[in-house]
Amino acid sequence: MQPAIEQITPNMSFGSIGGYVVLAHIVQSDSAVVNGYDLMKLHQNTLNYLSRQAGANQADIREIVTKSMADKLYTVKPPQNPQPSGGSKP
């Protein structure tokens, strides 16, 4: 099942930002690194390891991956150019 995709218009955007405390209702990211560990790679490597173990149920591992898919993905709407006001009369 493919997740729903919702376009959003951000209130603010930053090229890069550093902060101490960030509170958010929804966070979507292609990568997450904490204390030098890439959490996505850690989960993928854990699943790969478990799938190679004797007695590993491949169907259960695929189900874990399938159930971990996001329900909704967010994309940023491209900015809309303002419409010309008709210009000045000659």
Report the pLDDT value the prediction gives residue 84, as an integer from 0 to 100: 65
Report the pLDDT value the prediction gives residue 41, as an integer from 0 to 100: 93
- Decide if 9 contacts 80 (C-beta within 8 A): no
- Decide if 72 contacts 6 (C-beta within 8 A): yes
- Decide if 71 contacts 2 (C-beta within 8 A): no
| Secondary element (H or E) of residue 5 | strand 4-8
User: Which residues have a Cβ under 8 Å from the Cβ of 4 and sit 6 or more positions away?
Assistant: 71, 72, 73
Report the pLDDT value the prediction gives residue 57, as an integer from 0 to 100: 93
> What is the full per-residue pLDDT of the chain (90 aa) written as tens digits?
677 888 887 777 677 777 777 777 788 888 888 999 999 999 999 999 999 999 999 999 999 999 998 888 888 887 777 666 665 555
User: Which residues have a Cβ under 8 Å from the Cβ of 64 and sit 6 or more positions away?
Assistant: 47
Annotated domain spans of the chain: 1-7+36-77
